Amino acid sequence: MPNALSRGLFNLFFGAKRKPFASLPGPQPGILGTAGDFLGASPWDVCARYGREYGGVTLIWMGPNPGLVLNDPALIAEVYESPRRMEFEKGNISEQIRPSTTDDTAFTAELRGDWVQKRALEPSAQPWAPEALADLVGPMQAAISEFVDALLKQERIDFAPALRRLTFDAFSVAQVGEKLPDQVFEDFMLLARAADARIQAKLPLKFVKPPKDFEAVKARFYGHFVDRIREARKRQDPGAVDLMSRYLRETPGIDDQVLAHMLGGTYFGGAFSSSVTLVGAFHQLNKYPGADARLAAEAASLVADGPLTFQKVESAKWAEAVAYEALRILPAVRVMTRTPPKDAQLAGVTLPAGSMIMISNQHLHRDPAHWPDPDTFKPERWLDGGTTRDPLGSGHFFPFGRGPRACVGADFAMVFLKTALTTIASRVKVQLDSTEPFEEGFFFGVVLPKGVTGKLVARTAQASLKAKVG
């Protein structure tokens, strides 16, 4: 908490600004407002603490500028889902990542602009998307199995970067029908690091310089997808099940560059968050051996008579429960922001244009008033109606966001997670060096686990089938 002098200076200079917000609880501001709470601390931990200390809405001050931290499901729904959602835009995150992405995706589009049109073009938004998704399970399983076989040869694995590349390969098979060269992955990571530098910058963005050869790398990354699209147009393979080929069959008039930008943008939207969720799941499974054994047994039974299918994955209720519980207890994205472009009414006050609204899911995902044993990894809470009681995007469970602007790739992400968990658990045991809480950093807007290391131990089919169900 700021000292008395700092609090006094804030009141001296900005006391008049505080009066319209007197009805809201929050920490006492100092000369820098309450921004000091976020220095050296994870923003999601600060927002969760505010939820415990101040309730559903907390008044914060970024210097002399007021803002809100929301931990109230009804207020969050007002911002995300009600007709008033048009009053709240994503804020500066769009500007921060725009140089690395493109304007052809809905990710950075404004609700008041052409977001609806761009969202409607996304592969995951097409009417044929569910059918296409069902065809992708087998190819993703093959890509994941191949990557796991390579990891088995390593004596020590840092799981965050390893599972990131596994996810990138599985996404590539789903998107364009084959794994992409290392150069494409390296280009993707350079673009992501450039965006992350802008997200975490302490200086105005105009002073944040892109890395060397940034524009050339960006052109090469998205150009690779343009080349793939043109090759696919020439082949016209009616049996190809990847999303690119399906899109070209269903909508042949789509512009090559627009489709390339959407395909490339998918990696930014899901590769980091999906891989982080896998790391969190296996970290928790190491802490709870009974849950791990049950996953291994289910996985072994599903692959015993052949490759995975969409129907098998849909029947993998324990893998689904593990994925949901990992998304609940360790969501990859824990703080989302909104900003009113114009003065807006919220929580009984008038927020000035440009105010920061921070929306936290960490507190609500672990709210003891809603979740029994909230800090314990219990996949069984999702069985017997659990997913109906707390569906994705509901008040206390929104790892992919809420409302119309929730992640358009959520369905794809869930199929990928269940496919990955089942494939990995059927082949190997993920053995970590430590189950102590891992250090959490931040990269590209996503929580970044650090120090989750270990190795893979091959399972025999017999051992997997006999694994005790706990």
Mark the binding-site residues for heme, compressed into ranges.
Answer: 407
CA angle at residue 336 from 335 to 339, to 5 degrees? 135
Q: How is 260-310 classified by DSSP, letter by letter? A: HHHHHHHHHHHHHHHHHHHHHHHHHHHH-HHHHHHHHHHHHHHHTTSS--H
Place of tokens 């997200």: 199
Provide the 3-class DSSP secondary structure of residue 236. Answer: coil
Instruction: Give the Cα separation of 9 and 31 in Å (integer).
Output: 6
Q: 433 CB contacts (<8 Å, ≥6 apart)? A: 453, 454
Instruction: Give the Cα separation of 169 and 180 in Å (integer).
Output: 7
309 CB neighbour count, 10 Å cutoff: 15
Q: 50 CB contacts (<8 Å, ≥6 apart)? A: 26, 27, 58, 60, 69, 71, 360, 363
Length of the chain: 470
Return the DSSP state at 339: B
- Ramachandran angles phi, psi of 370, nearest 5°: -115, -40
Instruction: Give the Cα separation of 58 and 68 in Å (integer).
Output: 6
- Binding residue numbers: 407
Q: In whole angstroms, how large is the CA radius of gyration of the chain?
A: 23
